[in-house]
Structure 1
Amino acid sequence: MFGSDALRRRAPLNANRQIAAFLIARGDAARDARDWSRAAVWYEEALRLAPSRGEIHVQHGHMLKEAGATQAAEQAYLAAQRLMPDDADLALQLGHFYKKVGRLAAARDAYQRAITLKPRWEEAQNELAALPKTSAATMEIPATDLYLAEAAQALADSSKSVRLVPALQPRPEGALLRDYNECVEVRQMGRHERGAWGVKRTVRGVATIRGFGISRTPVAEVQLLLDGRLFHRGSVRGPYALMQERHPHGLNKYVFNLWYDFANLPAGRHMFELRLLDAEGEARSFHDDIVIASPLREVDFPDSDALVEERSADPTLLEQRIRARASMVRSARRELLPRAVANMLVLRTDQLGDMVASVPAMRRLRELFPEARIVGLLTGANAGFAESLSVFDEVIVVDFPDDDMERRRIMPLDAQQALRDRLQPYAFDLAIDLAQAGVSRELLQLSGAPFLYGVEGSDFHWLSADFALNTRDPVNRLDVVPHSRKTMALVETLGAIVQDSFRTERRDDLDRKRLQRFGISAADRYIVLHMGARVAFSRWTGFPELAALLIERTDLKVVMMTEDRNVRPALAPQLVASAKFQLLEERLEYDDFDTIVSFADVLVGNDSGPKHLASFRGIKTVTLHTARINWSTWGHEGDGVILSRRVPCAGCDIFYDSEDCGKDFACIRDISAEEVFKAVRLYV
């Protein structure tokens, strides 16, 4: 059963949700009008109907804080924390709150928690560093808490020339425990896109709905609803025990990973609900506005494994078709840009000083793309200077004024349309904004270029690539590097990502005779099958079958490498007995390992270090890549091919919680031995 009586809900309760949404909207309006007390009342009323909305508890806390009701604000924040214990931003907000009310020790703990939840978060680190320092004797740290006491001492001891870093020391067992609550969490479903309805979660064609629920009562099924109407029922995996639970009280995790073709549903904006039903008929739901948009085509995005162009109204048949498809086989040599750069648009739509500071970067662009036609999109303030430099093949002057009332640069819609129409005939391949500030970044979207590049910003997720460089004055934390160097770094980074800098390197000090101790003669042609990988679930399971195919159909000797002592007993006796098979099942000295890799004809490996070493040594390499991360990022470089699979849940980024997959890692296990054998035959 889900939670207390106050939290139990029998589906559907559309009326309550609609009323809560109305109250939240009134609260938002009062907040925007800076009427803090009235906003707090509206949010409080909404929470009576939707007490599990952690984000509304946060807004309630913000309003109470601004209204001066600090004790009530703290209770609101803590209520949100109970619902969202792993929310780093909430921990940061708690730090701000405690700092404001003068509780510095609590603020310090909150900021540290934010950093723990989101490592290397600069904002939280800066807030922590900026807190007034107190001595170890006056810090609010329990005397029995040795861990915190040691941390305080390390922070307070400024006499040492090298400061210690308390954040890196192991935490005590108690600090690793977590408080869990019954909940529903969706980890993957579409992506947020900007459209006619604003920025909304958008699904196109075949999509995954992946996540989990935490429940005390066993979960029976997952239901998907659109505008209150049920359109799919699915099963869950579980129960799974919760890790490091502080107060075990019968909660378990139930995982879902549903593949569904949204092209079968009406396009447009809808209210989506994912509902988990437990064995007692109780329900808990996840709600969100979604936009169903037209499907994308695989031919337009050949390098993305997350795009699956497959049609079936039956989700079971859809999954069967996806899993029956051939694996993707791509060359390890790849380019970031979708095509060669023939036409480039460069934005410098600001002032003369900005243009002067950009001269080295613009000349570097010419060196990087010597054959490209480079067009400058400039303002009248800098066009004359630019034309005197001969850095552009053509200059387009645009009216893009800085408005005092708007406090930003603006361009009316009719002027935008005129600019888009003017730029369209150029068919730009790449558009780059040299501005460090984001005032002109949106203009890139009018270029029509398939590759858009500029300095990063939270509102510019649509950029094809972005760049960030921040230096800091030790006192005021502002930038200290000259603008010209930051702009040059922007351009140099573009050059680094579009140009292939990978080079192979052989070792002259390795002797092939070293192989004899491992049963490999000087005359043997052999293939290395490396079975290992640090992330256990990214290991392909078809190596024994592949070894049998290689022995049967080629003249290669097969050297299988593993550190798992359970591999040998599981191998077929005829494979182990073959004179063409050698199993190495121990950790080797590095030079021995490097020698075996360096003289191989081919190496087949998982997403792991050995395949990178093989490619670096110039060995033909076949990578078997799990879709948890993009093949184009961590697939090997150099010679060879990368095998992967198109699945809707590609990019899950699962690392520690392997149970979260819900599909038995079909993205790696569905690669067949026959497919890998054919890839090897490209080279032997």
Structure 2
Amino acid sequence: MLLRRKHARDAGEIGRDMTLRADAARDAGQWQTAALLYSEAARLLPNSANLRIQAGHMFKESGIHEEAEAHYKAAAAMAPHDADLALQIGHFYKSSGRPALAAEAYGRALTLKPKWDEARNELAALGASGWRAVRERHAPTSLASDVPLLELVPRPHEDLLVDHQEGVEMRRLGRRERTRWGIETTLRGVEAIRGFCISLRPVTEVQLYLNGQLIHRGMVKGGYLLKHERSDLGPRKYVFNIWYDFSSYVPGWHDIEVRLMDGRSRPLSHHTRIVIDEPLSERAHAASDGVVEVAVGDDRTIEQQIRSRRSMVREGRRAMFATPPQTILVQRADQLGDVVVSVPAMRRLRALFPEARIVGLVSSANRDLVETLELFDECLPIDFPDDLWERRRVMGIEAQRTLQRQLAAYNFDMAIDFSENASSRPLLLLSAAPVLVGFRSDRVPSLTIEIEGNTHDRWDGHEIVPHTNKLLGLVEWLGAMARSETNIVRRKNLSRERLAAFNLLETERFVVLHDGARLKFSRWPHYLRLAEQILAKTDVRVVMLTDDPVDQSSLPESLLASGRFELIDRRLPFDDFDALLSFASVFVGNDSGPKHIASLRGTQVVSIHMARNNWNEWGQENGGLIVSRRVPCTGCLVWHDPEECGKDFACITDIAPEEVARAVYRLL
């Protein structure tokens, strides 16, 4: 008994001595030493909550959070009603990056001491940081939002106002192309250089410099009020659209500068480096209105030459391929697994083009597998290694030349790269095929048909379907692009009797002219002259639909006197409107919805197409004729800011009534 008491006295004395040593280490900033001493003292004096707290503090300061947490929990078990201890534990969890446990501890401190501002402020600070308790969260049941979609909500007018700064904004200056000098901004032949400048002073002239030499000077249009400009006294917009022929310049790198001059010759300019390459021919790019040639030795200006040319008249029925491809190259020059997942897509390609000769370009290591699949008429193995140093697949210059000679013998009509990785995409160019197909990549900006088909896991952004499906998607996309079926849907419940309301007999032939379009600047301005010519040269009736009220007295005398002209300047019930479009012998309209409805009903359509987008994209598909003009600024996509055209929409206003009339006569 005496020995046990002696031992207890010794343990207590040792514990108290360690506590004193721990206090000294703490005061000296020796956190880890103090932590170990407090921990040992707490073992010797197991009923001391304070020693557990001090050990927790010191382990926390030492960054040993697991030990600190163990001591804090032990202290809390000994002193469950200690509000200050609960607060200290909250501080520990907050500094450890565990806000949920910190909030729980602060909440316990506030429960033990309800009016304690310090605990209440700590909880408020957690809430202000954006944290919330699990019980306050609402688990989403779907991807749909249950709150307003803010990106669709109209913004206050004031939020759209800006203070415009002076400068030059280019809307068009060449295009990115693969050239002998790399993938660079390139100019070829007749080009449009268009844009605008923002200036506080009136701008009087635009100048174009090449390698420091002045090569063009001309007028600007403006100054237009800037939309969304905050100040009524702010700068104005001055627009330029330069048509210039670069055919005479040496191919290669050049410095180009656009200068905008005010009355005091204070320039605003845009300067950059571009590549000039050989011009393209209209014959080789018959479907492109943006490729324009001008005559050598013609004394007229480029603009005079272009604007005096005849318009283009093309068939509405069209297809990507005039005839199905006869020879097709398929690239799969990568790994074994890549070949395997491509099998369904390759089979589908064969089904789409059953008569074509399909040649596979595959890595040498995969040749044996490919030949067992019997997918290709011929297999060409190549070495296209993945270079670990460059982290991409590479092929030396001599190997490229050898492959180019091999591929030239096949005279490919189309080449397809089945790899989603862009490393092999440049190989398509060695095939010299006129149609290149593959997944979209900036490394080959000249693909004819490309797809960017992806699926996304909501959280990590990676794919959620097998790669096989994506390859099938590429081939199905190719098939969709190659389709040329008509799309005619006639109404069985629509009767010609409705035409009587417009003074038309059921057996009478008539032409409908529709002068409307959502974009007012895309409306051809010569419909009345066209009506006069059709009435003069044919025996058909002419029904003109217009979006705007018309003063009858302003019409030409020949139309007022004609018994075969009907003007409708009011909104019609849809069935009446549909009847006019469905039973017309010919419909003439702008690039707008009614043109497409008439084509859908099987009516012969003459569409008058401006060059803001391509005629072969938005022209009607079921037949008829499409009238457009070749201009170098084709594809401008002008919409909200029509003043940026800079050429008064010559691409549509220069289409002559006689040209449209001849197209109508062809279809009657």
Q: C-alpha separation between the residues in 1 aligned to 2:275 and 2:499?
A: 60
Gaps of 5+ in 1: 1-133, 140-154
Q: Residue 418 of structure 1 aligns with which residue?
A: 402
The separation in 1 between residues aligned to 2:180 and 2:551, in whole angstroms, is: 56
TM-score normalized by the length of structure 2: 0.77
Match of 1:249 in 2: 233
Cα separation, 2, equivalents of 1:509 and 1:210: 51
Q: Select which of 510, 517, 523 maps to 1:533.
A: 517
Who is 1:408 aligned against?
392
Does residue 664 (structure 1) correspond to residue 648 (structure 2)? The answer is yes
Match of 2:638 among 643, 654, 667: 654
CA contact (8 A) 1:136 1:156 kept: no
Q: Would the alpha carbon gap of residues 138 and 348 (structure 1) be closer, same or farther in structure 2, given more than 3 Å must change?
A: same
Deviates more, 1:641-650 or 1:335-344: 335-344
Deviation at 1:551, TM superposition (A): 1.0
Aligned-residue offset at 1:262? 1.2
Distance between the aligned counterparts of 1:208 and 1:348, measured in 2? Answer: 39
Q: Which amino acid aligns with 1:579?
A: G
- Within-5 A mapping of 1:638-649: 638-649=622-633
Q: Secondary structure at the match of 1:299?
A: coil
AA aligned opposite 2:496: R
Contact 1:348 1:435 in 2 (8 A): yes
Could you say which residue in structure 1 is the equivalent of 2:281? 297
Partner of 2:372 in structure 1? 388
Cα 1:568–1:258 shift into 2, 3 Å: farther
Give 1:418 shift: 0.8
1:408–1:439 contact (8 Å) kept in structure 2: yes
* Deviation of the 1:266 alpha carbon: 3.7
Equivalence for 2:197? 213
Distance 1:182 1:315 in 2: 37
Does the CA contact (< 8 Å) of 2:422 and 2:443 recur in 1? Answer: no
SS of residue paired to 2:494:
coil
SS of equivalent residue, structure 2 residue 422 = coil
Cα-to-partner distance string for 1:203-238 (whole Å, 9 max, x where unaligned) = 111111111111111111111111111121111011
Work out the CA distance in 2 between the residues paired with 1:228 and 1:197: 21
Q: How many residues align?
A: 536
User: Aligned partners of 1:439 and 1:674: how far apart in 2?
Assistant: 52
The residue number in structure 2 matching 1:278 is 262
Question: Residue by residue, what CA displacement relative to the aligned partner does 1:607-647 show, whole Å, maximum 9, x if unpaired?
Answer: 00111111111100000000010000000111101000001
Helix, strand or coil: the match of 1:350? coil
**Aligned equivalent of 2:106:** none
2: CA distance between counterparts of 1:184 and 1:353? 51
Once residues 316 and 156 of structure 1 are traced to their aligned partners in structure 2, the CA distance between those partners, rounded to angstroms, is 72
Mark the CA change 1:402 to 1:505 in structure 2 (over 3 Å): closer, same or farther.
same
Give 1:582's aligned residue: 566
Picking from 533, 553, 565, the partner of 2:537 is 553
Separation in 1, partners of 2:625, 2:551: 26
Q: 1:337·1:451 contact (CA, 8 Å) conserved in 2?
A: no
Could you say which residue in structure 2 is the equivalent of 1:447? 431
Contact 2:164–2:234 (Cα < 8 Å) also in 1: no
Q: Which runs of 4+ in 1 moved over 4 A?
A: 134-139, 155-162, 312-316
Aligned-pair identity in percent equals 48
Q: Contact 1:330–1:641 at 8 Å: present in 2 too?
A: yes
Check the 8 A contact 1:350/1:381 in 2, yes or no. no
1:592: how far off? Answer: 1.4
Contact 1:559/1:582, CA 8 A, preserved across alignment: yes
CA offsets 1:459-511 (integer angstroms, 9 cap, x no match): 22111121111111222221011111111010000000011133211100001
- Please tell me whether the aligned partners of residues 211 and 257 of structure 1 are also in contact (alpha carbons under 8 angstroms): yes
Q: Larger deviation: 627-636 or 310-319?
A: 310-319
Partner of 1:15: none
Alignment partner, residue 58 of structure 1: none
In 2, Cα distance between equivalents of 1:333 and 1:216: 50
Q: Deviations over 1:292-319 (max 9, x none)?
A: 2221111000000001110357896221
Q: CA deviation at 1:159?
A: 8.8
Local SS of the residue matching 1:250: coil
Structure 2 residue 608 is the aligned partner of structure 1 residue 624: yes
- Give the 3-state SS of the residue equivalent to 2:639 in structure 1: coil
Residue in structure 1 matching 2:465, options 481, 484, 507: 481
Q: Deviations over 1:509-566 (max 9, x none)?
A: 0011111112222232100001110011111011000000111111111000012014
Distance 1:156 1:137, change over 3 A: farther
Letter in 1 for 2:446: W
Change (3 A) 1:567 1:136: farther
| SS at 1:642 equivalent | strand
Secondary structure at the residue paired with 1:420? helix
Question: Match of 1:383, SS?
Answer: helix
Please tell me the residue identity of whatever aligns with 2:363.
Answer: T
Distance 1:313 1:375 in 2: 47
Are the counterparts in 1 of residues 178 and 446 from structure 2 also a CA contact under 8 Å?
no
CA distance in 2, matches of 1:369, 1:196: 34
What letter is aligned with 2:384? Answer: F
Hey, what does 2:667 align to over in structure 1?
A: 683
Question: Which amino acid counterpart does residue 240 of structure 2 have in structure 1?
Answer: F
Candidates 397, 402, 409, aligned match of 2:381: 397
Change (3 A) 1:179 1:316: farther
Deviates more, 1:398-407 or 1:361-370: 398-407
Aligned partner of residue 409 in structure 2, secondary structure: helix
**Contact 1:546–1:676 at 8 Å: present in 2 too?**
yes
Q: Which has the larger radius of gyration?
A: 2
Show the 5 A alignment for 1:311-330.
311=295, 317-330=301-314
1:136 to partner: Cα distance = 11
2:528 aligned to 513, 521, 544, which one? Answer: 544
Match of 2:224 among 240, 244, 247: 240
Q: Equivalent residue for 2:355?
A: 371
- The question of whether the paired residues in 2 share the 8 Å contact of 1:261 and 1:313 is answered with no
Q: Paired residue for 1:54? A: none
Answer yes or no: is 1:591 the counterpart of 2:575.
yes
Kindly state the Cα deviation for residue 197 of structure 1 after the two structures are TM-superposed: 3.1
Shift of 1:370: 0.9
Matched residues in 1 for 2:299 and 2:228: separation? Answer: 35
Question: How far off is 1:283 after superposition?
Answer: 0.8
Structure 1 residues 658 and 285 mapped into 2: Cα distance closer, same or farther (>3 Å)? same
Give 1:228's aligned amino acid.
Answer: G
Measured in 2, the distance between the counterparts of 1:306 and 1:284 equals 28
Counterpart pick for 2:151 among 150, 162, 167: 167
Q: Tell me if structure 2 keeps the 8 A contact 1:200–1:289.
A: no
**Matches of 2:322 and 2:292, distance apart in 1:** 19
What does 1:346-365 align with in structure 2 at a 5 Å threshold? 346-365=330-349
Report the 3-state secondary structure (helix = DSSP H, G, I; strand = E; otherwise coil) of the residue aligned with 1:210. strand
- Map of 2:488 onto structure 1: 504
Q: Identify which range, 363-372 or 516-525, moves more after superposition.
A: 516-525
Q: CA deviation at 1:250?
A: 3.3
Q: Is the 8 A contact 1:529 1:558 kept in 2?
A: yes
Deviation, 1:177, is: 1.3
In structure 2, C-alpha distance between the alignment counterparts of 1:502 and 1:471, rounded to whole Å: 31
Q: Residues 136 and 358 (structure 1 numbering): CA distance in 2 closer, same or farther, change over 3 Å?
A: farther
Q: What is the SS of the residue equivalent to 2:436?
A: strand
Would you say the 8 A contact 2:181–2:252 is kept in 1? Answer: no
Match of 1:519 in 2: 503
Question: Does structure 1 residue 636 correspond to structure 2 residue 606?
Answer: no
For normalisation by structure 1, the TM-score amounts to: 0.76
Q: Structure 2 matches for 1:185-200, cutoff 5 A? A: 185-200=169-184
